Amino acid sequence: MSKQFTAEEVAKHDKDGDLWVVIDSKVYDLSRFAQMHPGGLAVLLDNEVAGQDATDAFFSLHRYEVLQRPQYSRLAIGTLAGAEQQVFPKAVGGLSNVPYAEPTWLSSGYHSPYYKDHHRKFQAAFRKFVEEVIMPDAQAREEDGKRPSPHVFQEMAKMNIMAMRLGPGPHLKGLTLMGGIVKPEEFDYFHELIMGQEVARIHARGYGDGLGGGTFIGLPAIMNFGRPELRDRVMKEVFEGKKLVCLAITEAFAGSDVAGLKCFAKRVEKGWVVTGTKKWITNGTFADYFVVGCRTEKGGLVVLFIERQEGIETKPIKTSYSTAAGTAYITFENVFVPYEHTLGPEEDGLRVILSNFNHERWGMATSSIGGQRAIVEECLKWVNQRKVFGRPLHSQAVIRSKLAAMIARVESAQNWLENITYQMNHMSYKDQSRYLAGSIGLLKKFATEGAQDTARDAVQVFGGRGITRTGMGRFIEHYHRTITFDAVLGGAEDVLGDLGVRQALKYMPKNTRL
């Protein structure tokens, strides 16, 4: 590929059957490919394209990754004499230098009081892992709707990623995290924040949930309320990538109002018999274990650990994101559950269910903000390379105004998130409930409302491409279609906003007046 051509030589190849173009200093021989070009032959025979430097035209219409696909990269036959490559793809695991594409702590020239050297090393290793191991599977499975591939879980197990997703704590003791980059006792909520935000960059929202989203919200109940024998067995199986858990609380009858559950657990000798249904259960179609909230005869709630067995049916629900998430409708028909598989006190299931809500919502806000930032980067790149009326798209004031709103939203959400994360690192779990339940609810609501505004703005910036599943705007289309999941899972926006205000009112001093 070291062969050099002059512009005059390239210009001679300007017809059907003998067609060369220059893209970013490389000469491509499109003579045979032109007939198969998805954009058609005619556009390639245009006077300003055939035999010419078509760099601007190309980047107005294609993502860089097109040139990296092996079937296309081999069309390059040499370079244009005197020209230098201008566009370089980001190195695997590397940081983006597009302004606001990274949070300030990762942006050159900025500082942060929160992150230490081990956070930076952890971020670099984790991003590389995501781009090398998760990203290719994510794009393929998001498309075909199949569950994330077993090899991804195995690779995650080697790094103890499932264990880290539960946050800091004694469960990490003795484990080698990310190949030893961070010590178990050093691991804190900022490491977990990094994980959530890095995975959000894969632009595959359904797959992201498929990648153990159910375990993230279901395993804590087993870890904190399971009997030691059950707890140790299940945690080991999950950490080793052999089993997956799902949290089965919501029903067609009850969503955010968990107190209204109808799935019924009848107390029998040596255990329980469960009958009822669950709906919208993430990972339900392929999970091995179910953490199920049930109504008891006494009218209270009990949470049970149930293994997949006869009497349990899991049917996929088609939602607006990929079936890679394994979203299920579940029926339990007279399923026996041994008494030892009761999680927490018999009639106090509500406490078991509620106990992980703050961590869960914080995790969802974290990844939602990460995903929002990835969209800001897409938009900044697009307005820079897209030409309209002979000028870049960003020469339009209305486009710059949309970008201003997008940037302000993601930056304010990230800064609030980091403040809350810092508080979490310095509070007991009990204090987190006292001081942070309200603000985490408000943060999640703020983040997902902003995300939906950003999704709408991004579609306007990309135009038709923002509603097209392939090509330049495919990540925008995906984001716009799936963003409402963040806004609903873990509590609808209005419910969370109300929680935040009610918490504040609860702690209003009695003796205060205007």
Nearer to ligand HEM, 233 or 387 (CB): 387
Dihedrals phi, psi of 249, to nearest 5 degrees: -115, -55
Angle at 288 between CA 272 and CA 278, to 5 degrees: 60
How near is the Cβ of 464 to ligand HEM at its closest, in Å?
8
How near is the Cβ of 58 to ligand HEM at its closest, in Å?
5
How near is the Cβ of 389 to ligand HEM at its closest, in Å?
17
How near is the Cβ of 141 to ligand HEM at its closest, in Å?
19
Residues making up the chain, counted from first to last: 514
Q: Are 482 and 490 in contact (CB under 8 A)?
A: no
How near is the Cβ of 147 to ligand HEM at its closest, in Å?
26
Nearer to ligand HEM, 332 or 382 (CB): 382
How near is the Cβ of 55 to ligand HEM at its closest, in Å?
9
How near is the Cβ of 23 to ligand HEM at its closest, in Å?
6
How near is the Cβ of 84 to ligand HEM at its closest, in Å?
18
Number of helices and strands (H, E) in the chain?
18, 15
Residue number with the smallest Cβ distance to ligand HEM: 39
How near is the Cβ of 148 to ligand HEM at its closest, in Å?
24
3-state secondary structure 31-72: CCHHHHCCCCCHHHHCCCCCCCECHHHHHHHCCCHHHHCHHH
Q: Are 17 and 92 in contact (CB under 8 A)?
A: no
Nearer to ligand HEM, 75 or 301 (CB): 75
Nearer to ligand HEM, 19 or 133 (CB): 19
Nearer to ligand HEM, 48 or 347 (CB): 48
Closest C-alpha to 443, from 366, 376, 356: 366
How near is the Cβ of 300 to ligand HEM at its closest, in Å?
56
What burial letters (b/e) apply to 222-261, b meaning 16+ CB within 10 Å?
bbbbbeeebbeebbeebbebebbbbbbbbbeebbeebeeb
How many CA atoms are closer than 13 Å to the CA of 349, on its beta-carbon side? 28
Nearer to ligand HEM, 34 or 343 (CB): 34
Nearer to ligand HEM, 162 or 393 (CB): 393
Report how far apart, in Å, the C-alpha atoms of 75 and of each of 2, 27, 42, 125, 262 are: 13, 8, 19, 33, 62
What burial letters (b/e) apply to 61-73, b meaning 16+ CB within 10 Å?
bbbeebbeeeeee
Nearer to ligand HEM, 357 or 462 (CB): 462
What are the helix (H) ranges across 335-470? Answer: 349-355, 357-385, 397-425, 429-462
- How is 184-252 classified by DSSP, letter by letter? TTT--HHHHHHHHHHHGGGS-HHHHHHTTHHHHHHHHHHHHHS-HHHHHHHHHHHHTTS--EEEE---S
Closest C-alpha to 211, from 318, 310, 330, 321: 321
Nearer to ligand HEM, 41 or 95 (CB): 41
How near is the Cβ of 474 to ligand HEM at its closest, in Å?
8
DSSP 134: I
**Chain residues in the site for ligand HEM (CB under 6 A):** 21, 23, 28, 30, 37-39, 43-44, 49, 54, 57-58, 61-63, 66, 72, 75, 470-471
Nearer to ligand HEM, 73 or 334 (CB): 73
Nearer to ligand HEM, 27 or 265 (CB): 27
Q: What span, in angstroms and rounded, lies between the C-alpha atoms of 440 and 368?
A: 13
For the four alpha carbons of 377, 383, 386 and 392, in that order, the dihedral sign comes to: negative
